[in-house]
Structure 1
Amino acid sequence: MSSKILIIEDEEAIATMIKYNLEKEDFEVLTASSGEVGLNVAVANNVSLILLDWMLPNMSGIDFCKLARSRHELREVPIIMLTARSEDEDKIKSFSVGADDYITKPFSMQELIARVKAVLRRTAPMKEKGVIEFADLKVDLTTCKISRGDRYIHLGPTEYRLLQYLLKKPKHVFKREELLEKVWGANIHVELRTVDVHIRRLRKALNAGGEADIIRTVRTYGYAIDNEINQNDNQDLDE
């Protein structure tokens, strides 16, 4: 079965061009011209991925991301932001509200298709089975359910893969470059600060119930899953 992609773009010519090229790659493509319509289409059609324009009427792409990540039906659907805004602050903002990738306009169709395929590969359901446990954290690899004690934790697809990779070697400090390559892919060109943004989101989700922080930061280097942390020294690399 082909992946179902939703394009939320208010410029009809751009949406039509993207739709045409994705359909050539055998994707099933839906379109919406506003965030409000896009939200309804996404929920009703169980989409695999959303291509989202930042500058939409009424509801911006940023606001759509925030709303989508608050809805259980869309919490794990990957989102690629499409925008002419190219400043680092804009990229970080989009990642911080839930986007999984960011493409600056104008872009080539080859790049767009490559990124779509890469994100779909990255966020595909995990094939591993079993349960990983560390301290009070439990990750069921079969159902992708995560819990700390009695509290269930909801993560986006990128944060899930990031956590899963960190749990391969608890207490081992992974360089940001390694995390970027293994979680995002060697051929995807995103900045190192992207790792910091997603670590911050992962940390927030893991600690939302007031639990002790189990992500250790080694400044200028990387991150580890560790339950023996000096909390006063533990800050994200970009802070």
Structure 2
Amino acid sequence: MSANPIFERESAATDERSSQRSIAPAPAPVTLTPSQLEERAIIHRTAVSRPEVDAFRELRTRLLAAVEGSFVALVAPVSSGSGGSFVARNLATALAFDDTKSALLVDCDLRHPSQHVTMKIDTPTGLVEYLEDPEGDLSDVIYETGVQGLRLIPAGTSREIGAEYFSSSRMRLLLDSIRSRHPNCYVFLDGPPVRGTPDARILADIADVVILVAGYGRDTAASIAQAAANFDPNKFVGVVFNEGV
């Protein structure tokens, strides 16, 4: 697995008490072994320099330099198969390498959710269930991943249309709750492909920065430029060319 970061210039009628307990302290998670992390296509720290780990560390460093304070980052692939979920998962992991920071990965590809499968988290509930239930507690859909400092909100039940979910006041409440309770938590939205649906553009409205993922040798320069044109230039921080999923 490898990624080469190239930055070219990412009353709601809900009980206030729910947001206050939205991310309650959880029991200490079981830490995954290096072999388990590799099975899940997740980078990990080693004593020896590894190109894929260094690539994500470099990407993380550039992103932190470009944005002041914690942020919500949308990671969106140009097209299906470009490796957006791989990049989102490992960029969040690289952020969590810093013990003073934490990362929350949110699977927002409601048509083809994959993070819970790749990370081997067996769950029937996630983002969709939280957004559909006005009384739902956010802590019920946040899962430990086995990676220190990294947690996941899986997509939940798949849906053909995500626009209504992502533009809802409850989606904004979710992000506001995380910001207010955990100022050092960086949120990564694993978005659906830009081509084909408006979902990525809608997610960009609630994100602070947008990172586009292009499949190396897969997405053409024209398709990358067309995808990038969907986003506010003030939020768009660059393109990651991904060589493997």
TM-score above 0.5, yes or no: no
Greater RCO (Cα-Cα under 8 Å, separation 6 or more):
2
TM-score normalised by length of structure 1: 0.32
Larger radius of gyration: 1
